[in-house]
Amino acid sequence: MLLYLGLLLPVACEKLVETDYPANQIGTVQVFEDLKTANATLGGLYAGLRDQSVLSGTYYGTGSLLGAYTDDLDSYYNDQNGLMDIYQNQQQETNTIITSLWKTAYQQIYYANSTIYGAEHSTALSGADKSRIKGEALLVRSLIYFYLQQLFDDIPYTSSLDYEHNRRLSKTGAVALLEQLEVDLTEAVAQLTDEYRDPERIYPNRKVAQLLLARIHLLRGEWPLAEQMAGTVLQSPLYQFQPDINKVFLKSGKHILWQLKPEKEGDATEEAMFYHFASSAPNSYVLSQDLVNTFGGEDLRKQAWMAEVTFNSDTWYRPYKYKNRSNNSTEYSVVFRLEEAFFIMAEALAKQNRFDEALPYLNATRERAGLTAFTSLSGDDFTRELLAEKRREFFTEFGHRFIDLKRWGRLGELSAAKPNWEGYKSRWPLPQSELLLNSNLYPQSSGY
């Protein structure tokens, strides 16, 4: 963790990136003259993703923020820090959560850029190690950019460490940004191998980069390429579909592509602690009745992945995908799992009007949940069931519901459950503090 704090050049709250090294910390060049310290920098990057990032399993991550922003979570917060405004679709450019998310994301992007630079310019690391380190950092950077683009649409993109350049960045349009991410992820795929460097899959490999690249292909409407990338994951002998609903979130599963390990041995996942409440009224998030109603009584996910809490004659459901809150030896926070490749394949094939081929990929999670498989489905009916099934499968996992509705142009459907929903809220406002510091970020997102 020390290397994470030291190598990440300090980011002042009022600047996008700051570049002065603290005098008592290790510089980038020194770090990458030794494999152990170079690997530690990546470990620090992953620790940051776990603790406070778009991937965090707490109030700060996209799982809860976008679950509440759409219609999967209800909020019981009584706060002044912006969470209720996001839940009520009333966010403004001064929202402190949005500002903090933006700043932290760009800190981590700068950290990834520093790691890439260090690996490329190392004179001591082997070629294979340099490629792996660069590939992992490229992947992480691309994942952060992916979420920023989905949240804000047009955002600054930089691979530079130059302060003067970065402080004057202009926004990159969504189309150009996605094109650049496709380039970056293609390079990450080339730099990485399928072999995991830890048997617990706590560091990403090439297949993770390919699955994220498949997401980008979907966003860009490149259906055959999305099919191809998802297929490389589905055909890999590294992975097996998990048929037991009760084992989907166990860290030993062969369906897991990448997961984040808790800070200490025996610690619970962030998700297990964050969503828990019992014998009391909730004070953070619960599953919305709108979501709960999409599950039939026979759906095993309702039984295994939700917990019912009753207090003073009121009943709520809380997320219960992660269960161990003490002496945890079986659960890590899953970032990518094989089921996503099934849904990407189903969507890519459906977009090519190959519904009969797409159907088995849609049915896989349904049948595991104890539901009857569809025997025939096409057109709008297929789209409706695809979105509904993916919602049931991935609730509270990194904003899939928001991203899917946005990609399909169906965010307007939220107005049925969210009275403050308006079309311009498909993207969040740029933080006011950033606009004041860098006029090149203007104009503000329309509607704000």
Note the pLDDT of residue 30. 81
Assess contact for 71 and 415: CB atoms under 8 A: no
Q: Quick check: do 1-192 and 196-394 share a fold?
A: yes
Beta bridge partners of residue 258, listed in sequence order: 336
Residue 201 region by backbone torsions, left for phi larger than 0, else alpha for psi between -120 and 50, else beta: left
Kindly list the domain boundaries of the chain, sorted by start residue.
1-192, 196-394
Note the pLDDT of residue 28. 64
CA distance 138 to 180: 12
Note the pLDDT of residue 27. 55
- Successive 10-residue mean pLDDT values, the chain, 448 residues: 38 34 49 92 95 96 98 90 94 97 97 95 96 98 98 98 93 98 98 97 98 98 98 98 98 98 97 95 96 96 97 96 97 98 98 98 98 96 98 98 98 96 98 97 97
Q: Which fold has domain 196-394?
A: 1.25.40
Taking only the tens place, the pLDDT of each residue in 236-280 is 999 999 999 999 999 999 999 999 999 999 999 999 999 999 989
Note the pLDDT of residue 346. 98
CA distance 46 to 369: 32
- By DSSP bridging, strand 333-337 and strand 256-260 are antiparallel
* 127: number of Cβ within 10 Å: 7
Burial class (CB in 10 A: 0-12, 13-18, 19+), 209: buried
Note the pLDDT of residue 79. 75
CA dihedral 105, 395, 446, 96 (to 10 degrees): -50
Q: State in words which class domain 1-192 has.
A: mainly alpha
Note the pLDDT of residue 103. 97
Taking only the tens place, the pLDDT of each residue in 102-157 is 999 999 999 999 999 999 999 999 999 999 999 999 999 999 999 999 999 999 99
CA distance 413 to 379: 18
Note the pLDDT of residue 58. 95
Note the pLDDT of residue 83. 96
